């Protein structure tokens, strides 16, 4: 019953830039299939790290390479990982000059202090062999210098269930762009990244809205309490409407059901179960 679903944030250019839209679709489909093959011989926890690392390595997405630049001209990234079996979550917040923040989060799984931020996160990465690496690309620098503030909804994520029914989730973000230094996104919190033995959920969108809605934790809790994935999504997204919350989510439950929903189209995603593929159109 191995299945995997990934997201690449929201795609505001979908109606105006066909070339970029097609490139993102192709990238997502390639990554989800590659990660599915990896999942065949690895655990769900290992597979979500693998998938999110591939997303971080692709400059089409706002995580790792291609991350947004903050208001002081620096790039700070966040990422988190959660194992639905052990119920352990690890993460880095506002880490700098690391190619793959999700891999640092993965190493933190063995620590007692599993979520660290800022300079401490960067120093931890250096001590564990992560060399200084600039994730800046010319497009982001041009946007920053021209003060072209983007919509701020870029994040990548993955949820997987392996052959033994274990669920894991990983999420990574390059931030919303031009934010106040020190701003905390949802990605390394239980609002944006959560899993247990019943369900795993990864979020993208406006971090402040996602945290306000406690979305990932709510969906997982509701599935744990007996709701279907669709029911849990519907109730949780209904609760975003009073403040027009901007969010998108992907999920897999322990029955192998996959689901995705967004409050403001269009979240880019792809899923694969070995036979059937689905990709954002």
- Three-class secondary structure assignment of 135-158: CCCHHHHHHHHCCCCCCCCCCEEE
Name the pTM for this structure.
Answer: 0.94
Strand 156-161 to 115-117 pairing: unpaired
Using CA atoms in the order 146, 204, 262, 244, what is the torsion angle rounded to 10 degrees?
-70
CA gap 78, 124 in Å, rounded: 14
**Model pLDDT for residues 255-271, shown as the tens digit of each residue:** 999 999 999 888 999 99
pLDDT in tens, 136-170: 988 888 877 775 544 455 799 999 999 999 999 99
Per annotation, catalytic residue among 155, 173, 189, 204: 155
155 is catalytic: yes
Helices (H), the chain: 18-39, 44-56, 101-107, 118-127, 138-145, 207-213, 215-224, 229-238
Tell me the β-bridge partners of 10.
267
Task: Please tell me the distance from the alpha carbon of residue 273 to that of residue 258, in angstroms, as a whole number.
Answer: 10
Phi then psi dihedrals of residue 173, to 5 deg: -145, 150
Question: Tokens 């002081």 label which residue?
Answer: 72
Task: For residue 40, give the nearest of 131, 160, 162, 215 by alpha carbon.
Answer: 162
* All residues at 6 or more sequence positions from 225 whose CB lies less than 8 Å from its CB, including other chains: none
| Cis ω before 26 (30° cut-off from 0) | no
Burial class (CB in 10 A: 0-12, 13-18, 19+), 183: middle
Which residues have C-beta within 8 Å of that of residue 195, sequence separation ≥ 6?
Answer: 82, 83, 84, 159, 167, 168, 169, 201, 220
> CA dihedral defined by 102, 253, 37, 190, rounded to 10 degrees?
0
pLDDT tens for the chain, residues 1 to 281: 899 999 999 875 444 577 888 899 999 999 999 999 999 999 999 999 999 999 999 999 999 998 999 999 999 999 999 999 999 999 999 999 999 999 999 999 999 999 999 999 999 999 999 999 999 988 888 877 775 544 455 799 999 999 999 999 999 999 988 899 999 999 999 999 999 999 999 999 999 999 999 999 999 999 999 999 999 999 999 999 999 999 999 999 999 999 999 998 889 999 999 999 999 86
């Amino acid at each position: 019953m191995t299945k995997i679903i990934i997201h690449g944030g929201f795609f505001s250019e979908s109606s105006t830039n066909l070339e970029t839209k097609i490139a993102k679709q192709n990238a997502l489909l390639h990554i989800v299939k590659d990660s599915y093959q990896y999942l065949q011989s690895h655990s769900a926890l290992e597979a979500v790290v693998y998938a999110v690392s591939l997303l971080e390595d692709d400059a089409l997405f706002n995580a790792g390479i291609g991350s947004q630049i903050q208001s002081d001209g620096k790039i700070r990234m966040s990422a988190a990982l959660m194992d639905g079996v052990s119920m352990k979550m690890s993460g880095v917040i506002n880490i700098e000059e690391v190619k793959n923040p999700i891999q640092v989060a993965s190493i933190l799984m063995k620590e007692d202090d599993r979520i660290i931020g800022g300079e401490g996160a960067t120093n931890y990465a250096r001590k564990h062999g992560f060399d200084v690496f600039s994730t800046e690309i010319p497009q982001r620098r041009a946007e920053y210098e021209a003060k072209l503030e983007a919509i701020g909804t870029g994040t990548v994520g993955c949820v997987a269930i392996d052959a033994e029914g274990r669920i894991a989730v990983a999420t990574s973000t390059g931030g919303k762009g031009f934010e106040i230094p020190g701003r905390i996104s949802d990605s390394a919190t239980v609002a944006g990244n959560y899993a247990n033995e019943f369900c795993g959920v990864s979020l993208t969108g406006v971090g402040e809205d996602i945290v306000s809605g406690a979305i990932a934790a709510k969906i997982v809790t509701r599935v744990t309490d007996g709701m279907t994935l669709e029911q849990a999504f519907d109730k949780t997204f209904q609760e975003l409407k009073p403040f027009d919350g901007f969010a998108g989510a992907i999920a897999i439950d322990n029955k192998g059901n996959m689901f995705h929903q967004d409050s403001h189209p269009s979240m880019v995603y792809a899923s694969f179960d070995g036979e059937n593929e689905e990709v954002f159109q």
